[in-house]
Amino acid sequence: MMVHVHEPVCRASITAAVSDDAAVVARLLAGDEAAFATLVSAYQGSMLRVARVFLSKPDVAEEVVQETWLAVLRGLRAFEGRASLKTWIFRILANRARSRATREARVVPFAELASADDEQGDADLERRFSAGGQWADPPTDWRVHSPEALVLREEVMQHLATALEALPPAQRTVVTLRDVDGWSSEDVCESLEISEGNQRVLLHRARTRLRAALAAALGQR
């Protein structure tokens, strides 16, 4: 018996780090530069990647990331801890990136991106099955026995990197945060303010495409 749960927007992640957030904030307010350096190195990579989804120019994305840090520091006293520090930082980033993109006349509201159908991607997978749901165009053996072996093949990884860049923006953000940066689905949902369902679909589509790209790079299906 399947239990159907009314689809929630993600619940606030009950992070064990809540008390850690308070400690970090206290240290920052006390002028602890090392604490700030730690925070920066923890999130900077992901922040740049998220900014790049909204902003095509890398230097503009970097600017927005810097502005975000400033906004974070300035807003620290008012930080109430209702969301995690991480979520709060990324929401500020997403908002700034979005308004900057608007100013540069490229409006890409994430909510719209998230709901945009990727009919091409879905159709590609559909086409590989018969009407009865059997494989008509099955995956073939990659002859690669571990992810480690795969990662050593530079050309193949280059292909994967290209395929990642070529993903529709919403898919690229989600799969990057989840699979490259190792974020939980709760953190992704909260930071990008999308539903679990949205997140799940975007991740599925991204991974499906990327698997296909890897297969192609290996001369397989």
Partner 1 sequence: MLNCRQVAEQASEYLEKELSLAARLQMRLHLLMCRVCRQYVRQLLMTRAALRAFSHDDQLQPDAPRELFRRWTADERD
**C-beta of 82 vs 146, nearer to partner 1:** 146
Q: Work out how close the CB of 210 gets to partner 1 at its nearest, in angstroms, rounded to a whole number.
A: 5
Q: 80 vs 138, which CB is nearer to partner 1?
A: 138
**Residues in a beta bridge with 129:** 135
User: What ranges in the chain are assigned the alpha helix state H?
Assistant: 18-29, 33-54, 58-75, 85-103, 110-115, 119-126, 147-151, 154-166, 169-175, 185-192, 196-217
Q: For partner 1, what does the binding mask look like between residues 31 and 50, x meaning CB under 8 A?
A: x-x--xx--xx--xx--xx-
Per-residue x/- track, 10-29, partner 1 (CB under 8 A): -------------------x
- Is residue 159 a contact residue for partner 1 (CB under 8 A)? no
Reference 55, options 198, 205, 173, 186; nearest CA is 173
219 binds partner 1 per the rule CB under 8 A: no
Nearer to partner 1, 160 or 192 (CB): 160
* Selection from 154, 214, 145 nearest residue 179 by Cα: 214
Backbone angles phi, psi at 122, to 5 degrees: -65, -40
Any contact of residue 154 with partner 1 (CB under 8 A)?
no
Could you give the CA distance from residue 175 to residue 199 in angstroms, rounded to a whole number? Answer: 9
Binding residues for partner 1, rule CB under 8 A, total 57
Judge whether 186 and 148 are in contact, CB under 8 Å.
Answer: no
Q: In the range 98-127, which residues lie near partner 1 by CB under 8 A?
A: 125-126
Closer residue to partner 1 in complex, CB, 29/107? 29
- Terminal Cα-to-Cα distance of the chain (whole angstroms): 36
Whichever of 56 and 105 has its CB closer to partner 1, that residue is 56
* Contact residues for 40 (Cβ-Cβ < 8 A; gap 6+): 69
* Rounded CA separation 221/215 (Å): 5
Which residue lies nearer to partner 1 by CB, 111 or 136? 136
Return d(Cα 154, Cα 63) in angstroms, integer: 31
Instruction: Summarize as ranges the residues that interact with partner 1 (CB under 8 A).
Output: 1-3, 29, 31, 33, 36-37, 40-41, 44-45, 48-49, 62, 65-66, 69-70, 73-74, 125-126, 128-129, 132-135, 138-139, 141-142, 144, 146-147, 150-151, 157, 160-161, 164, 175, 179-182, 185, 200, 203-204, 207-208, 210-211, 214-215
